[in-house]
């Protein structure tokens, strides 16, 4: 019997099994680590699991690696393709969720909701602990103008925010109400900067000490994308110095964080547990789509949302 291995502790096992119901000779198993040996025809992997040359070399029957997420920086596309397998992902399955989470972060930072709540619980009754700022008229800078970045912009414009954007493949100008500029201009003018760019393996962080220094004093930074987009040491220093007004993070370098992880001690910092993607609907959608991609390959068809095809 051929094996489809789900390397995810989520709720997707039954969903994947349903998608493969037309293939009775295939089993769907949960696994804590990468399998080895013959018989494994598909891997379904979350962002936390890296699949590279060593992994695929141990799987002679592998036909597809399906990411149960939008991002795919954890997959070595060239190595998987060279091993004769497809690579797919799930773009757009949680676009609305991440956009809404980002806007919630932006409003929280500008109005000081969480930090003021913490201060009251600590015995204070002083709005000047984190003075609220008006969201209408504030400048939101969006780094990365793909699906999620543009949905964030649409919501921000509805709140009467001014929206600036940067994307290396979008020329300067005006697109859907977004004023597109170079990164330096966006950082210098924005009250809140939010990241929605792809993480490129091997590249330095997109936001380092120089970029943080280029931001407006007292500005806020949001990251619901990948922790590697930011130089964490530089971010901590900018917060401790007071250069940044605060930050909101849904992703950390180590998840869950250890008790002594620096981010947990940073001032004026909001952290959610990699939750921006989640809703009941989004919690099953990537498994359904990954399962359907596997079913297509096993049926001799080209899967949707293919990133790489067998070499």
Q: How far apart are the first and last CA of the chain?
A: 25
Grouping H, G, I as helix, E, B as strand and the rest as coil, residue 2 is: strand
- Catalytic position from the list 133, 147, 243, 274: 274
Based on the residue annotation, tell me whether 226 is a catalytic residue of this protein: yes
Task: Tell which residue, 273, 266, 111, 116, has the closest CA to residue 192.
Answer: 111
How far, in Å, CA of 219 to CA of 60, rounded? Answer: 51
How far, in Å, CA of 205 to CA of 212, rounded? Answer: 11
Based on the residue annotation, tell me whether 160 is a catalytic residue of this protein: no
- Catalytic position from the list 255, 265, 302, 309: 255
Strands 192-195 and 139-143: parallel
Phi and psi torsions of 140, nearest 5°: -105, 125
The DSSP code for 51 is B
Q: Which residues pair with 43 in a beta bridge?
A: 5, 65
Buried (b) or exposed (e) across 227-258, using 16+ Cβ within 10 A? Answer: bbbbbbebbbebbeeeebbbbbbbbbeeeeee
Based on the residue annotation, tell me whether 23 is a catalytic residue of this protein: no
- CB count within 10 Å of CB 271 equals 17
Exposed, middle or buried, 150 (CB in 10 Å: 0-12/13-18/19+)?
Answer: buried
- Catalytic position from the list 226, 268, 289, 292: 226
How far, in Å, CA of 102 to CA of 106, rounded? Answer: 6
Say if residues 64 and 86 touch (Cβ distance below 8 Å): yes
Tell me which residues are annotated as active site. Answer: 226, 255, 274
């Amino acid at each position: 019997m051929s094996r489809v291995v789900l390397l995810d502790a989520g709720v997707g096992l039954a969903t994947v099994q349903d998608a493969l119901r037309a293939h009775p000779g295939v089993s769907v198993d949960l696994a804590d680590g990468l399998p080895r040996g013959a018989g494994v025809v598909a891997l379904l992997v979350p962002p936390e699991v890296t699949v590279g040359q060593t992994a695929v070399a141990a799987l002679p029957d592998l036909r597809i690696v399906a990411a149960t997420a939008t991002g795919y920086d954890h997959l070595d596309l060239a190595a998987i393709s060279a091993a004769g397998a497809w690579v797919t992902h799930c773009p757009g399955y949680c676009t609305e969720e991440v956009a809404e989470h980002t806007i919630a972060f932006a409003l929280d930072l500008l109005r000081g909701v969480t930090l003021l709540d913490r201060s009251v619980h600590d015995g204070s009754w002083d709005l000047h602990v984190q003075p609220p700022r008006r969201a209408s008229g504030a400048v939101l800078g969006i780094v990365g103008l793909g699906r999620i970045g543009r949905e964030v912009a649409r919501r921000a414009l509805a709140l009467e925010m001014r929206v600036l954007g940067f994307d290396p493949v979008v020329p300067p100008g005006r697109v859907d109400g977004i004023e597109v500029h170079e990164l330096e201009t966006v950082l210098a003018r924005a009250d809140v900067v939010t990241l929605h760019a792809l993480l490129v393996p091997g590249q330095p962080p997109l936001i380092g000490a120089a970029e943080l220094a280029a931001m407006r004093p007292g500005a806020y930074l949001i990251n619901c994308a990948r922790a590697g987009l930011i130089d964490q040491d530089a971010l901590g220093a900018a917060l401790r110095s007071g250069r940044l007004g605060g930050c909101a993070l849904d992703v950390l370098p180590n998840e869950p964080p250890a008790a002594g992880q620096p981010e947990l001690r940073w001032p004026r910092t909001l952290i959610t547990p990699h939750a921006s993607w989640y809703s009941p609907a989004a919690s099953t959608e990537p498994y359904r789509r990954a399962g359907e991609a596997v079913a297509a390959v096993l049926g001799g068809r080209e899967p949707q949302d293919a990133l790489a095809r067998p070499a």
